[in-house]
Amino acid sequence: MSRPHASCSPPPWRLPAPSPALLRYLAAVLTVPAWLVLGKEAPASSTAPPLEYIDTSFENASPLWYEPAPDGSIRVHLLYDHERASPNRAAGHIHFRLHAPPGTRLTLEFKNLDNVWNGRPGSVAPELQAVVVSEDGLHWQPQLTESLPGNRVRLGVTMPGPQLYVARVEPYRLSDFDRLLTRCRTHPLVHVTRIGDSLQGRPLELLRVGRPEAPGRVFLRARAHPWEAGGNWVIEGLLDRLLEDSPEARRFLARYVVYTLPLANPDGVARGLTRFNLAGRDLNRDWDRPADPKLAPENAALEAWLEGMRAIGQAPHLALDLHNDGGGRLHLSRPPILTLDRHLARMATFETLLRQHTWFTEGSTGGSYRNAGTLGDGWLERFGIDAAVLELHCHWIAGVAEHPTAPHWRAFGAGLAQVFYDYFERVTP
């Protein structure tokens, strides 16, 4: 009969069991978690969620970092971009790719939604009521978020496959713009001009669609604020409508010509910023004075183009700066000018036509509203151009009772073709 294995009987040198207090003391001096020494179950926070990775390596992805939370969710910390010489900061662009096994249920909580805007605190949380998701980065579906107390926003997703893109609004990337240029730059009615370069040397490409001698001239800009991709889809919808081979399109372009700068802040779009350019300038501010060519070359190039057009008597009659927000209204300009009443009457005509030919129902800003320094306010005050900021609601279109994706905004753009046609019939340029 063999001897019992040594491990079956306590060794003669075994110490008495230490007290829990002693173990906690040891844990403290050894700087290891108490549960490791006490041999208890690890708390839930140490259980890694089934997320494999959040990929932000591609164009227009939002810079962020993330961590597992004690409740099993993943905290997604969006990074702020900051305004130069200002307390303003912004985080709210969302565009990343989740990697996790198909069928995995993930809960994300977005952090750093506490922005500072015009020197005042303002949370993005109330506007973050829906996002869009896509398996391939091309076909997007709206998905609701969950609002929690304390300006917290959560998103639950079930992985349909090994990867899932998540975005604040349907993304429009530099590559999407390149595809638009490829599609239309050889059209005889399209002329592309490189009006300058961004801070990082990206081209600022301004398109003319139609004939310069047309009686009406419209200007549209988008992406001064990089997260606000809706305006780009609107411009695509408008251009596709105007470049159709149809009697309507020929009628539109006999009455007006469109000039457009679709990517006003290409560096911010490429790098996934939220609001500012790479020098910390807000490109929808400071239009009440000449643009700074060093810190805002994007605006300086546009202003130089505008001065050139004014010099040959071809300045735009109507200018729209397209944005996204959680209100979706037409922001009327009200600088202290003698002809303000005439401008507001024209904008009332424009708003009526928007309601008539698009799904627009959100209305315009009231008499006490003034946002000095926007393109709308500045171009009206300094150049006498009927100019306004048109915000597109980022998560809800009341006129069709749906969450917006690119087809809604394209349809809005197609409707603008008729809006401009009627506008230049009623308003003499």
**What residues line the site for Zn ion (CB under 5 A)?**
225, 228, 323
Tell whether the torsion through CA atoms of 89, 93, 95 and 99 is positive or negative: positive
- List the beta bridge partners of residue 225: none
Phi, psi of 272 (to 5 degrees): 70, 35
- List the beta bridge partners of residue 68: 74
Q: How far is the CB of 284 from Zn ion (least distance, A)?
A: 6
Q: For residues 109 and 377, which CB has a smaller minimum distance to Zn ion in the complex?
A: 377
Pairing between β-strand 216-222 and β-strand 256-261 as defined by DSSP bridges:
parallel
Residues in the chain: 429
Find tokens 């549960």 and name the residue. 35
Q: For residues 392 and 417, which CB has a smaller minimum distance to Zn ion in the complex?
A: 392
Q: How far is the CB of 333 from Zn ion (least distance, A)?
A: 15
Find tokens 């980065």 and name the residue. 137
Q: For residues 86 and 193, which CB has a smaller minimum distance to Zn ion in the complex?
A: 86
Alpha-carbon span 331 to 390, nearest angstrom: 6
Would you state the torsion angle of the CA atoms of residues 219, 224, 227, 229, taken in this order, to the nearest 10 degrees?
10
Q: How far is the CB of 79 from Zn ion (least distance, A)?
A: 18
**Residue 351 and residue 409 in contact, taking contact as beta carbons nearer than 8 Å:** no
Q: For residues 276 and 424, which CB has a smaller minimum distance to Zn ion in the complex?
A: 276
Q: How many CA atoms lie within 13 A of 387 on its CB side?
A: 27
Q: For residues 323 and 343, which CB has a smaller minimum distance to Zn ion in the complex?
A: 323
Residues 6+ apart with CB under 8 A from 83: 89, 90, 275, 276, 280, 281, 282
Q: How far is the CB of 176 from Zn ion (least distance, A)?
A: 19
Alpha-carbon span 288 to 118, nearest angstrom: 16
Q: How far is the CB of 142 from Zn ion (least distance, A)?
A: 20
Of 179, 115, 167, 165, the C-alpha closest to 136 is 165
Q: How far is the CB of 359 from Zn ion (least distance, A)?
A: 20
Q: For residues 271 and 357, which CB has a smaller minimum distance to Zn ion in the complex?
A: 271
**Residue 331 and residue 232 in contact, taking contact as beta carbons nearer than 8 Å:** no
- List the beta bridge partners of residue 82: 89
Q: How far is the CB of 296 from Zn ion (least distance, A)?
A: 15
Q: How far is the CB of 224 from Zn ion (least distance, A)?
A: 6
Q: For residues 109 and 228, which CB has a smaller minimum distance to Zn ion in the complex?
A: 228
Q: For residues 217 and 275, which CB has a smaller minimum distance to Zn ion in the complex?
A: 275
